[in-house]
Amino acid sequence: MAPESSDGSTGRARDATERLLDAAVAAFAEHGFEAATVSDIARRAGLTTGAIYARWTGKRDLIVDAVRYIAPQCMQLSPANAEASARETLARVGADLVSTDNLVARGVMLEAFVSARRDDSFRAAVSHSTEEEAAKLGAIVSSGKAAGSVKPDLSTNAIVALYQALSLGMCLVISSQPEDSRVPAEEWEALISSLIEAMSPQSFPH
């Protein structure tokens, strides 16, 4: 990242880029990749279309960067606090899958997954994002195994795949269901707690 200039221009440029990415995500979530327009994105950001073309060659490149930008928001993988154990982090991440707080981010990622079937640029962006997410999840699971809270012979890759599948699946379910038909958070948390408990070495008698 470039150092901050004496007149603050680097910081302003970075702020404008983030505003454009936030605006792009909002537009893509509302209208989809195809229907969203560059002019609408610029308007939402309070900037001109020139600000977009100064950073990206067109809407397609902006979409790819927006996907990379929004991906970390789909699953909050940072521990709630420095003392949180791997099991506590996995339980919180699992419980958050029914939250609607990051539904926009997950909706945009779903759109990207669909587009990735037909477009190599989207496929690369989605692959990069899912690999980063998988690496972070894998590190959490590995730390749990090292601490003795996750059964060591369970496949780390399988646990990671389960979480990623649940994340996308719950996004589809929540997006398609009326609010009063959704699974209550406490029922979902109880299920996740049972799954986490099943990963514990103590739950598998020898």
**What is the third-level CATH fold of 72-201?**
Tetracycline Repressor; domain 2 (1.10.357)
Q: What is the pLDDT of residues 42-75, one digit of tens each?
A: 999 999 999 999 999 999 899 999 998 988 888 8
Quick check: pTM over 0.85? no
Q: What is the pLDDT of residues 15-51, one digit of tens each?
A: 999 999 999 999 998 998 989 999 999 999 999 999 9
Within 8 A by CB and 6+ apart from 40, the residues are 27, 31
| Residue 206, pLDDT above cutoff 50 | no
Architecture of domain 10-55: Orthogonal Bundle (1.10)
Q: Where in the sequence of the chain do the CATH 1.10.10.60 domains occur? A: 10-55
Q: What is the pLDDT of residues 153-169, one digit of tens each?
A: 999 999 999 999 998 88
For every residue of 126-186, DSSP letters joined together read: HHHHHHHHHHHHHHHHHHHHHHTSS-TTS-HHHHHHHHHHHHHHHHHHHHHS-GGGSPPHH
Q: Where in the sequence of the chain do the CATH 1.10.357.10 domains occur? A: 72-201
